[in-house]
Each structure stands twice: as structure tokens, then as C-alpha cells.
């Protein structure tokens, strides 16, 4: 079945004030979601996005402490009332109250075997949890004298790709470091996603060099819309996020971009831009599967 793709408005919340107190973080996130849902005076958003790790400080020592059980299994009924995650409950409630699709950034998630994941949850306008994505590629880097970070100290990587149909677009999900792996974006685009969304938190070393470059590259090489949503920069925190949440169109144009502070960025996603890009630069029909494999055949 072909997914409907129609114009819609996207709002990215570059959330600030993420501190050590989870209840405060959830309260603040809820308040800014309610504000984002009011719109920018022109249009109300159809879809709101939060950043990576919006309910806890970002760092491997924090993940197990803040982790919550979610227990979502794709294709199986999910009862929010039975859910033990206070973050999931807050997100579900506010999605329903605002009648808006909501991509709940990411939160540390624990499973029944004691494994911890960095997990994105997605809600429909009735508050149902409809999809999750566990960060597949863990952020383990060491740039001497600049930044060392090892998510794998406490996290386990996810083992599946995640796409969902919002009724107005098919959306592919990744979390932060996942954007560095073009295969994930390529598979999502070849399987019909129109928009790729990455809650993320690049840093002051890699952010200035790679955040925009990777976002525009994933958009241009797959001829899709790409959106990256960061926390605001907080120089009193242990991890300094780059910020600059942005929305990029299939031609690589930046439709909206935040600075470093807390901010809501809105953009209208126009399907016509995707179609005219693909008609004008027809790479989607020029591929040489006699020379290399067709990743759209990847079993999902």
C-alpha cells in the first residue's frame, strides 16, 4: 500500500533546562510541548519532536539510573495504563491533549533482562504508543584531547529499523549517531519513507563540523526531508550539546534552524519538493543494481 504524503507542519523542540531532576525535566518538556502545539501564529503543527535524552542528563553513568521499562512490542496491543514509565505516560497524555503526533525524543529504557537502551517513542494524536526506535549505533568515540564518550559502557544497541506511517507521511527514525550510518537512511528512503527524523545531541567538537553536513547529505543522497532535533546548549551540564536543530528539504535547503538556546523551530513539509527533486535529478530510477545490490530488498 502506498502511504499518503500530504503537506504538514513539523515543530522541533530544542529543549533547555534538562537537569538532574527527572520530574522537573518531564514538567518542563510537557510545558514546552503545550506551547509548541499552539503553533507559530501561521499554522499549528501536525507533528512535534523532542530531542535525544530529554528526561535525563546525557552520559553513560546516568542511563541506568534514569532508565524506565517501556515493554513495547511492535504489532502487539500496548496498554498505556499498565505502563510503568512515567515519561511514556506524560508523552501519551500530552499527545492526546494536544491532538498532535509526537516523537518523544529519546529516554533511557530498561528491559526485563537488565539491558538499557536509548529509545525513541512515538505517539498518535489519541495518545497511543505506535512505534519505538532503540538507537542502533552506539556513540563510542575517542578524539584525543577533545571528546571521549562510550555509550556501550552501559547501553545495548537496538537491533531493528523503525518506520511508521503518520497518515500524512511515512517517517523513518534514527537517534543521533545513527545519522552517521548512511545505510539506515538509505533503507528507510528506499522503503518509502518521505521524512527521516533523528532526535540527537551532537557536541561542541563534532557538531560544528558534521551536524549540518550529515543532515544535508542524508537529505540529498536519499531525496527526502531530514530533521535533527537537539537539546539546547547548557555549559553547566556534563555534556555540551551543539544545538542547531534543523529541517532540511530533499534539495538540501535548510527550511528552519535553531541557534544554541531553547527554541521551537517550525517548517511546512511540501511533498511537491520531494517529487520535483526526484523528477529533476532522477537518481531514483538511474541506479545500477547490475553493479551493486538494491538495499530496498532488505528484509525489515
Question: Closest distance between ligand LQR7VSFR and the C-beta of residue 180, in Å?
Answer: 5
- The DSSP code for 4 is P
With CB under 6 A as the contact rule, the residue among 98, 203, 222, 230 that binds ligand LQR7VSFR is 203
Interacting residue with ligand LQR7VSFR among 66, 78, 139, 198 (CB under 6 A): 139
Whether 53 is catalytic is: no
Query: Which grid coordinates belong to 213?
Result: 553536513
CA–CA separation, 294 and 258 (whole Å)? 36
DSSP states of 207-260: IIIIIHHHHHHHHHHHTSEEEEE-PPP-TTSSS-B----EEE-TTS-EEEE--S
Residues 250-289 touching ligand LQR7VSFR, rule: CB under 6 A, are: none
Contact in structure between 126 and 96 (CB atoms under 8 Å): yes
Catalytic annotation, pick one of 110, 120, 135, 262:
135
Whole-angstrom Cα distance, residue 47 to residue 169? 11
User: According to the binding rule CB under 6 A, does residue 176 interact with ligand LQR7VSFR?
Assistant: yes
> In terms of Cα–Cα distance, which of 167, 166, 158, 162 is closest to 188?
162
Does residue 202 bind ligand LQR7VSFR (CB under 6 A)? yes
Query: At its nearest, how many Å lie between ligand LQR7VSFR and the CB of residue 147?
Result: 8
Q: Shortest Cβ distance from residue 119 to ligand LQR7VSFR (Å)?
A: 13
Q: Indicate the residue among 213 and 283 with the shorter CB distance to ligand LQR7VSFR.
A: 213
Give the Cα separation of 34 and 272 in Å (integer).
30
* Closest approach of ligand LQR7VSFR to the CB of residue 209, in Å: 9
Q: For residue 150, indicate whether it is catalytic.
A: no
Q: Residues 79, 81, 82, CA angle at the centre, nearest 5°? A: 70
Would you say 122 or 176 has its CB closer to ligand LQR7VSFR? 176
> Is 115 a catalytic site residue?
no
> Among 171, 153, 243, which residue's Cα sits nearest to residue 207?
243
Site string for ligand LQR7VSFR, 205-224 (x = CB under 6 A): -x---x--------------
Active-site amino acid positions: 52, 135, 176
Binding site for ligand LQR7VSFR (CB under 6 A): 139, 176-177, 180, 201-203, 206, 210
Amino acid at each position: 500500500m502506498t502511504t499518503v504524503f500530504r503537506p504538514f507542519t513539523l515543530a522541533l523542540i530544542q529543549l533547555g533546562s534538562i537537569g538532574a531532576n527527572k520530574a522537573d525535566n518531564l514538567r518542563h518538556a510537557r510545558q514546552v510541548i503545550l506551547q509548541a502545539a499552539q503553533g507559530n501564529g501561521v499554522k499549528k503543527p501536525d507533528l512535534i519532536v523532542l530531542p535525544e535524552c530529554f528526561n535525563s542528563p546525557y552520559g553513560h553513568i546516568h542511563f541506568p539510573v534514569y532508565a524506565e521499562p517501556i515493554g513495547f512490542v511492535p504489532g502487539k496491543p500496548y496498554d498505556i495504563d499498565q505502563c510503568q514509565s512515567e515519561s511514556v505516560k506524560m508523552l501519551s497524555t500530552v499527545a492526546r491533549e494536544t491532538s498532535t503526533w509526537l516523537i518523544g525524543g529519546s529516554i533511557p529504557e530498561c528491559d526485563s533482562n537488565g539491558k538499557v537502551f536509548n529509545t525513541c517513542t512515538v505517539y498518535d494524536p489519541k495518545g497511543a504508543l505506535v512505534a519505538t526506535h532503540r538507537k542502533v549505533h552506539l556513540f563510542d568515540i575517542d578524539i584525543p584531547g577533545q571528546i571521549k564518550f562510550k555509550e556501550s559502557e552501559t547501553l545495548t544497541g537496538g537491533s531493528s529499523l523503525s518506520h511508521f506511517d503518520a497518515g500524512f507521511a511515512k517517517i523513518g527514525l534514527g537517534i543521533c549517531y545513527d545519522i552517521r550510518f548512511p545505510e539506515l537512511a538509505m533503507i528507510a528512503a528506499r522503503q518509502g519513507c518521505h521524512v527521516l527524523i533523528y532526535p540527537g545531541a551532537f557536541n561542541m567538537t563534532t557538531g560544528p563540523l558534521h551536524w549540518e553536513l550529515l543532515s544535508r547529505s542524508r537529505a540529498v543522497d536519499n531525496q527526502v526531508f531530514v530533521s535533527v532535533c537537539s537539546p539546547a546548549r547548557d555549559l553547566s551540564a556534563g555534556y555540551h550539546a551543539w544545538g542547531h536543530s534543523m529541517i532540511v528539504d530533499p534539495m538540501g535547503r535548510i527550511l528552519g534552524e535553531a541557534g544554541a538556546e531553547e527554541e521551537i523551530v517550525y517548517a511546512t513539509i511540501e511533498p511537491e519538493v520531494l517529487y520535483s527533486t526526484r523528477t529533476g535529478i532522477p537518481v531514483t530510477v538511474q541506479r545500477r543494481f547490475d553493479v551493486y545490490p538494491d538495499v530496498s530488498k532488505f528484509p525489515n
